[in-house]
């Protein structure tokens, strides 16, 4: 053993680790005037200056330019929005809505900065993403349990009725 040797393995020479580094450092760009229809799922950053019809999932940052349009949901670690988004945003850390941003959809994020002039139409939930998702899932399960299906005897039509009114005859 060498006097100044290291006792741990150097994983940077491992081909698998090198490939992961390359993927996470990759960047996806949709330029001005370009239209892309489809979903993006990446470890790297995403920049949209054109139009995207589909969802974006990134383990890194998503940025949109002021003339951009995203018709779909955005899921990322961080996001900076200058353009228009028609869909939900789920940002694990920091969401920045620039003054030119227009959001038509719900937001779930840990932290959010909204510049004066930004437009937001939807619901916003802030806090720990995992806790919010868990809470939403529990609410959805409770709502499903409270809804029962009844048949109208006259028309044989199935009607959904909230359990609060389940004692009423239809």
Query: Do 98 and 113 touch, CB atoms closer than 8 A?
Result: no
| Residue 9 domain flag | no
- Provide DSSP, 22-50: HHHH-EEEE-TT-EEES-EEESSEEEESS
Radius of gyration (C-alpha) of the chain in whole angstroms: 23
- Provide DSSP, 47-103: EESSEEES-EEESSEEEE-TT-EEES-EEESEEEE-SEEES-EEEEEEEEE-TT-EE
Q: Which two tokens stand for residue 43?
A: 């470890």
Backbone angles phi, psi at 110, to 5 degrees: -80, -45
| Residue 71 domain flag | yes
| Residue 158 domain flag | no
| Residue 94 domain flag | yes
> Looking at the whole model, is its pTM more than 0.85?
no
45-95 per-position pLDDT tens digit:
999 999 999 999 999 999 999 999 999 999 999 999 999 999 999 999 999
Cα–Cα distance for residue pair 157/93, rounded to 1 Å: 47
Whole-number mean pLDDT of the chain? 80
Q: Average the pLDDT over each of 76-80, 96-100, 130-134, 142-146 and give the range with the smallest value.
A: 142-146
What kind and span of H or E run contains 17?
helix 15-25
Cα–Cα distance for residue pair 64/78, rounded to 1 Å: 12
| Residue 162 domain flag | no
Question: Which domain, by its residues, includes 101?
Answer: 17-127
| Residue 2 domain flag | no
Instruction: Give how many domains the chain has, as a whole number.
Output: 1
| Residue 165 domain flag | no
123-136 per-position pLDDT tens digit:
999 988 777 777 77
35-47 per-position pLDDT tens digit:
999 999 999 999 9
| Residue 91 domain flag | yes
């Amino acid at each position: 053993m060498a006097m100044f040797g290291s006792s741990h393995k150097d994983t940077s020479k491992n081909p698998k680790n090198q490939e992961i580094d390359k993927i996470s450092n990759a960047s996806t760009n949709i330029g001005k005037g370009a239209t892309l229809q489809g979903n993006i799922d990446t470890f790297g950053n995403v920049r949209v200056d054109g139009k995207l019809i589909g969802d974006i999932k990134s383990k890194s940052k998503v940025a949109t330019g002021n003339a951009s349009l995203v018709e779909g949901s955005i899921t990322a670690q961080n996001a900076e929005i200058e353009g228009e988004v028609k869909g939900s945003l789920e940002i694990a850390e920091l969401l920045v809505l620039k003054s030119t941003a227009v959001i038509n959809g719900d937001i779930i994020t840990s932290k959010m900065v909204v510049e004066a002039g930004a437009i937001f139409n939807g619901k916003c939930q802030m806090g720990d993403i995992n806790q919010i998702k868990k809470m939403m899932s529990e609410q959805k399960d409770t709502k499903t349990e409270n809804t029962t299906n009844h048949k109208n005897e006259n028309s044989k039509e199935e009607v959904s009725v909230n359990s609060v009114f389940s004692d009423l005859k239809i």
